[in-house]
Structures are given as C-alpha cells and as structure tokens.
Amino acid sequence: MDEKARTLTAEKTAAGFRAADMVENDMVIGLGTGSTVFYMIERLSARIRDGLRVSGIPTSYQTAIRAREYGIPLTTLDDCPVIDLAIDGADEVDPHLNLIKGRGAAHTREKCVAAAAFRFIVVVDEQKVVPRLSAPVPVEVIPFAVRPVMNQLREFGCLPKIREGVKKDGPVITDNGNFIIDCSFTEIPNPANLETTIARIPGVVESGLFCGFTEKTTVIVGNEKDCRIITSTDIVP
C-alpha cells in the first residue's frame, strides 16, 4: 500500500471508529453504505461483542450482508419508523453541510433513513470536504421514464449519463429496481434549489443531493492523528 492509500485508509478508519463510539445502548441506528461506513461497522461489531445492545437499519443489500457477517442485529423502518441516529458517508460536504451522496447507488434508502433519524452522522475523509459541491449528482429514476427525465435534466444545464455496471453489461440497477443517471454540472450555485427542482420531475425517485438535514447533521472528518467535528453551529453564513 502506497503512502497516499495508507493515509486515506487511516482517515476513513478514524472517522468510522469515532462514529461507532457515539452509539449508546439500546439505540436503533441507520447503517449507511460505503467504504468509510465499513470501518464504523467493524468497530460497532467489536462493541457489540463487549456487550453493547443496538439494532441497525441497513440502507442497501451490501450493508445488510456486511452487518450480518459482523453480528449486528438488524431491523427495518417498518418496525422502527423513528430512529436514534443514522451513520453514513458522503461523496462531498460543503461549508453549509449540504451533501452529495450516491456513488454506491443507495442514496434513496439513505435519504429515507436519514429523514427518520433524530441525528445524522456523516463520516468522511479530508478530501470529501470541499468549498462548493461539484461532483456528479446521482439521480435514481424509474426505467419507464429514463429518456424524458434525461431530456429535462439537460434543460437544467447538466450532462446526464446512465450509470453503467462494472462486470455487467448495461445499466446499474439499484436495490429498488431502478436506474441511476449521473448528472455533471459545471457549477451548483444553489444545491437546495436544485434538489427541489430535480425532485419535481415525473419519474425521478430521489437525487443524491442532501440539503434538508443540516440542522441535525454532524460531520466527522477523519485524520491520522484525530478527527475534526463539524456541526450546524459551524456553518458558514
């Protein structure tokens, strides 16, 4: 492992472990999807072996499989429609705690779980904290409406592209049975407005813009030496 990869792994591990240590007995927690969340699950599993009592709601099949492998008891939003906290990663975080998520194509379930949580803990490495959001915005779309949705997305000034599978011909299929359109914008001056605008398009299920949870969001930025914590009180006016 080269130095850059080692540093990145250390940052993700630090953030994931810090988030897992915030979990208390008898909590119901949302389990996000992604590489940094993996380290949280690893640490949470160790705490469960030491006697911690928790239940988790996975946001993807991948997370459900991993959580079971690590001995984390699982539940659902049907059984627990209001939960204590959700822990998840992000592709980008801006100074207002707006997020872009969805690189793992799980952002619809992630948004449902984040909305159900009293607190939303976001774990990232240093490179995910940016001055303004600029990453491609994933949009989950029902297959029936892909072409009309892409046409409308182009009107918003983006370059939409259906996400292709890896080691699979054709589009990525989400856990909900839908397609992902990755939308590249030259700039995103108002992420909240863009999130609302995209949501109004018939056929759109959810976008990867997370702008409605800033007041309950805590961002844990992993570092080799320690973690940096950002909350709503730190939001730049």
Spatial distance between the Cα atoms of 111 and 17, rounded to a whole number of angstroms: 22
The per-residue pLDDT for 124 is 96
Q: Which residues contact 22 (CB under 8 A, 6 or more apart)?
A: 85, 121
- Edge-first strand listing for the sheet containing 137-141: 158-162, 179-185, 137-141, 204-207
Question: Does 224 participate in catalysis according to the annotation?
Answer: no
In a 3-state reduction of DSSP, which class is residue 107? Answer: helix
Q: How far is CA 20 from CA 48, 69, 215, 217, in A?
A: 11, 17, 21, 15
Structural domains of the chain in order of their starting residue, each with its CATH number: 3-129+212-234 (3.40.50.1360), 137-207 (3.30.70.260)
The catalytically annotated residue of 110, 140, 195, 206 is 110
Strand 179-185 to 204-207 pairing? unpaired
Mean pLDDT of the chain: 95
| Percent of the chain with pLDDT strictly greater than 90 | 91
In a 3-state reduction of DSSP, which class is residue 165? Answer: coil
Q: Identity (one letter) of the amino acid at 79?
A: D
User: Following DSSP, what letter does each residue of 29-72 receive, concatenated?
Assistant: EEE--SHHHHHHHHHHHHHHHTT--EEEEESSHHHHHHHHHTT-
| Chain segment 90-141, per-residue pLDDT in tens | 999 999 999 999 999 999 999 999 999 999 999 999 999 999 999 999 999 9
Do 8 and 221 touch, CB atoms closer than 8 A? no
Would you say residue 190 has pLDDT above 90?
yes
Would you say residue 1 has pLDDT above 70?
no
Q: How far is CA 230 from CA 1, 18, 44, 95, 159, in A?
A: 30, 13, 22, 9, 32
User: How many C-alpha atoms does 200 have within 13 Å on its Cβ side?
Assistant: 8
